[in-house]
């Protein structure tokens, strides 16, 4: 007997680093296949899914800007790197039987569609997974902000922020064994305490539009499905 999903439409935010797996750079084929398989299982419940992916596994614009490259140029390079990740995920999803469309805020007509809100919503309504590439299409904005923006635009019920840890902690759990995990937080506490859930622009955008965020461990097998089925996994920010 199938469980009725707790959400109708979700926005999944994946970091580029989530695709690294055991690699130092690029995309681990085993990891991207596992991620695609979990996404496919959720999509088969009838949940409409949009996805935003970062590019930290390939290129990070802000980091290169610190070394002297013009920040706008560096951010443009980062936006192009997200397209590479999105195309890889699209391929992985199609291999497990899902229809997926890459829609980019940066026009690259030969490889993907332009991001147009109404068209994205139509794809979702038809059961296709929409993978949003190119960030916001503007420099100085992170893919976290892009995720918040796209979630609001397409009318998602929640932003699911996939990370390498189980939720939001009082301090870095890798460095501090005393770090405690929060099960629920409000937006202003996240901003005031600088907890690093997402960047401040993304949090403010979600707060102003009452868009909840759930932070969870993407490497925990079955976590995505558990969240969609209504389990209290990770940390809820609202």
Structural domains in the chain, CATH included, are: 9-237 (3.40.1160.10)
- pLDDT, tens only, 73-118: 999 999 999 999 999 999 999 999 999 999 999 999 999 999 999 9
CB 220 within 8 A of CB 234: no
pLDDT over threshold 60, residue 37:
yes
pLDDT over threshold 90, residue 62:
no
Nearest CA among 83, 124, 73, 130 for reference residue 106: 83
pLDDT over threshold 80, residue 226:
yes
CB 136 within 8 A of CB 103: no
pLDDT over threshold 60, residue 2:
no
pLDDT over threshold 90, residue 6:
no
């Amino acid at each position: 007997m199938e469980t009725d999903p707790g959400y109708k439409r979700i926005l999944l935010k994946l970091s580029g680093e989530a695709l690294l797996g055991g690699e130092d750079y690029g995309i681990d084929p085993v990891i991207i296949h596992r991620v695609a398989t979990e996404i496919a299982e959720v999509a088969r419940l009838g949940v409409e899914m949009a996805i935003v992916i970062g590019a930290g596994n390939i290129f990070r614009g802000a980091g290169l800007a610190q070394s002297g490259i013009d920040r706008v140029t560096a951010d443009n390079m980062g936006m192009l790197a997200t397209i590479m990740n999105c195309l890889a995920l699209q391929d992985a999803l199609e291999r497990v039987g899902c229809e997926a469309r890459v829609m980019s805020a940066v026009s690259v007509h030969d490889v993907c569609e332009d991001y147009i809100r109404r068209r994205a919503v139509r794809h979702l309504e038809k059961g296709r997974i929409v993978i949003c590439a190119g960030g916001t299409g503007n420099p100085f904005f992170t893919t976290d902000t892009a995720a918040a923006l796209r979630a609001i635009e397409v009318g998602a019920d929640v932003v699911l922020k996939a990370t390498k840890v189980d939720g939001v902690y009082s301090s870095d759990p890798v460095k501090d064994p005393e770090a405690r995990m929060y099960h629920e937080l409000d937006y202003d506490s996240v901003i005031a305490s600088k907890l690093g859930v997402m960047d401040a622009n993304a949090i403010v955008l979600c707060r102003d539009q009452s868009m909840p965020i759930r932070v969870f461990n993407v490497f925990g097998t079955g976590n995505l499905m558990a969240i969609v089925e209504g389990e209290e996994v990770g940390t809820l920010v609202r």
